[in-house]
Amino acid sequence: MHSAAKLIIGLLIFVAGIYWYVAEVLGMPGVAVVLGVTSTFMALKTVFAGLFGLFLIFLGLIIAWIEYEDLKWEMKEKKTERKRPAPRPRRKAKARRRRRR
């Protein structure tokens, strides 16, 4: 599927999600009323309150994992620096003499 088509589909889904919650405020019939949900904002608050703790748990785990990998990488880099010998200073190039004929 072309990326422009995916963009349009994504925008349509975004607008549908906004309409899901805003239709009630604007006085229009919403999809949630058909499904038997009386207040979409109350449902949103309930879901948000239930998922916020899980979000914090996963966010904390991701941050800790990234930092753990970063520390491992730094320790590996320090070990490789210790093993490498110091570069030798280069000798000055001797001036080449031209042969005279």
Give pLDDT tens digits for 23-79: 777 777 666 666 666 677 777 788 888 888 888 889 999 999 999 999 899 889 988
Residue pair 40/34 in contact by the 8 Å Cβ criterion: no
Q: What is the pLDDT of residue 17?
A: 82
Q: 99 pLDDT exceeds 70? A: no
Distance (Å, rounded) from C-alpha 8 to C-alpha 42?
Answer: 30
| pTM > 0.75: yes or no | no
Q: What is the pLDDT of residue 97?
A: 65
Q: In the numeric block, which tokens belong to residue 21?
A: 């919650």
Q: What is the pLDDT of residue 93?
A: 65
Q: What is the pLDDT averaged over residues 74-96?
A: 76
3-state secondary structure the chain: CCHHHHHHHHHHHHHHHHHHHHHHHHCCCCHHHHHCCCCHHHHHHHHHHHHHHHHHHHHHHHHHHHHHHHHHHHHHHHHHHHHCCCCCCCCCCCCCCCCCC
More confident residue, 14 or 38: 14
More confident residue, 98 or 78: 78
Integer-rounded Cα radius of gyration of the chain: 32
